[in-house]
Amino acid sequence: MAQEPRPVIPGFHPDPSVVRVEEDYFLVTSSFEYFPGVPLFHSTNLTDWTQIGHVLNRRAQLDLSRAKPSGGIYAPTIRHHGGRFWMITTNVDDDGGQILVSATDPRGPWSDPVRIPGAAGIDPDLAWDDAGRLFVTFATFDAATITSVIRQAEVDPVTGNVQGEPIELWQGTGHKFPEGPHLYRINDYWYLMLAEGGTERGHSVVIARGPTPQGPFEANPTGPILTRRGYPGTLQNTGHADLVQRPDGSWAMVFLGVRVRGGSHGFHGLGRETFAAEVRWQDGWPVVGDLLSPTVAHPSAISSTVTGTSSGTAVSTVTDVLTDFSAQLGYEWVSSGPASGSPVAALGDGSLLLNSARYSDVFLGRRQEQLFAEATVSIEPGSGRGALVLRLTPTHEYSVEVSASTVAAVSQVGAVRAVVVQRTHSTEWPGSSRESTSVTVYVAVVPETSGSGGPDCVALGYMKDGERVELARLDGRYLCTEVAGGFTGRLFGIVSADGQPAFKHFRYRGSDDATALALDAPAV
C-alpha cells in the first residue's frame, strides 16, 4: 500500500459490503440518520462504481423518526442466494432488532423488512450452508463489562424467527470492539473475518477459520491482515472489510478508511470512505496486497477533467455537478429530519422549497466527496431565511445564511452558535430589491493557510458581479470526527432557517487537487 490512497467510493460511505453475481458487483454502505437508507452501487471491475439507488427508499421500510446523529442504519451486508439479493442491517434507533429485505433485481423494488428481534446487536452478516440454513452473525456489546462478542443465530428468512438462543463464536484476537463480522465458506473451511480495535487509529481486520459455521475458530497466526495502526501516511483507520472473488478466481477486498491531513494528530472531514485492495492466498490465509484505484472520472459528474501519468492512469479529477431542482433529485441527495412525507416541494421554475417548520427540521444535502470542494446555491429568502451549510453534525456546521436584508457567515460548534460576520443592505448587498433578489452564496473547503495544523479551512461568502466576496474563513478541524465525534462525514446542503425561502441552481465542484478548482477565480 505504498501508493497515494484513492477511495473507490469517495466521501462518507463506510462499512462496505460487496457481492458478485456473474460479471457484476454490487456494494452497499452505512447511511446512519439519512434517508433514503443504504446506498447501493454497481461496478464491473471493483474500481469504478456508479450509484444505482438505495435499498431502503420507502418510509415503510425505514423508520428514522427517533434517529439521532450517527444513529440509524449501521453496517449492512449484501448477499445473493437462491436467485435473490438479500440485505441485512441494523437500525440502532429502532427496537426491532436486525432487518432483512430481499429483491430479485438489486435496482428494486426491495421487499418490506422482516424483523429479527431474537438477534439483537449490530453489524449483521448473512451466510447459508449447503443445507440451505441461514446463519446471521452479528456483534453484541455489554455495557456493564465494556466488551464486545461475536454471536450467531440460525434464522428463518421468511418469519425472522431465531432457532434457539444465539451462540458465542469468537471474541477476536484481544483488541477492543470486535465487530463487523463476515462468514464465508471457502474450500474446506469456514472463515470468520471481523474488525477490531475500534473504528479510529487502532482499527484492523482479523480472520479466523474453522470446520463449521459455528467453529471452533482458530485465528490467523500472522495477526491482522489489514491495519494502519502505527503506520505513517494519509490512509488511516482501515477496517470493516468484505471479501469477494472475481470470475477469474482471483480475490479482492473492500474496506473503510480515512484520509487524514494536518498536524501530527491528523484530521479527516470527509468521513470513512470505501477503498479496495487485491488479495492473494498463502497457506490457506488471505494476504492483502496493493490498493485498487479508480480509472475513470466520477460517474456523477456532468463535466470533468482527468489528468494522468505517462501510463495513462487517471490520478485526479474535477467533478462539477449542477442540480436543477425542477428535475428529480439524483441518488447522491439525502435528507434528515422528517419522519414521513417528502422533505421537499419543487416549484415549476426550477426552485425548491423545504418542508420545514423550524431551523434544521429538514436538511437536504449531498456528501463532500473530494478533499477540496465548493457548493453554491441561489437563495430567494422572501420573508424568511435560508442557508447553505457544510455539516458534519447538526451541532458542528458552518453556513451562509440569507434573509431579505442580510447575508451572514454562521458557525455552530457544539452548543455555541455564532454569527461571525453579517452584511446588511446598507453596507454591501448584491442586489437592489430586497423583496425579489436571489442571492448566490458559496461554501468552499480550501487549503489550510493559518498554521493551525488543521486539514483545511472553510470559506463562506456570496457572489457579487461574478466575483466571490468572502465573509469568513473558519478552521476545518471543528468539522472533523477527531473533534466533533460521530461516525458520519461532511455534507453540503440547504436548510430553511425561517419561513420558506426558495433554493435554485445548486452546484457542487470538487477535486483532490485544490489548484484545479481555482476557487479565487471569478464565477463561471
Residue 462 grid coordinates: 456570496
Residue 235: partners with Cβ closer than 8 Å, 6 or more residues away: 1, 5, 228, 257, 258, 259, 275
Q: What is the side-by-side strand order in the sheet with 122-128? A: 122-128, 134-142, 147-155, 162-170
Beta bridge partners of 396: 393, 413
Q: Is 470 helix (H, G, I), strand (E, B) or coil?
A: strand
What is the DSSP secondary structure assignment for residue 521, as one 8-state letter? S
Q: Answer whether the bond into residue 343 is a cis peptide, omega within 30°.
A: no
Beta carbons of 288 and 277 less than 8 angstroms apart:
yes
Structural contact between residues 400 and 441, judged by C-beta atoms closer than 8 angstroms: yes
Separation CA 33–CA 65 (nearest Å): 9
Task: Identify the CA nearest to 89 among candidates 60, 58, 113, 109.
Answer: 113
DSSP 434-463: TTT--EEEEEEEE---SSS--S-EEEEEEE
Judged by DSSP in three states, 319 sits in: strand
Alpha-helix residue ranges (DSSP H) falling in 72-124: none
Active site residue 33: no
For the record, the C-alpha cell of 220 comes out as 490467523
The Cα angle at residue 205 between residues 479 and 116, in degrees rounded to 5:
85
CB 279 within 8 A of CB 243: yes
User: Catalytic residue at 369?
Assistant: no
Residue from 48, 94, 154, 179 carrying the catalytic annotation? 179
Long-range residue pairs from 207-211, CB within 8 A, at least 24 positions apart, any chain? 207/285, 207/286, 208/170, 209/284, 209/285
Burial of residue 330 (number of CB atoms within 10 Å: 0-12, 13-18, 19+): exposed
Q: Which residues pair with 301 in a beta bridge?
A: none
Report the 10 Å Cβ neighbour count for 50: 13
- List residues with catalytic annotation: 15, 179
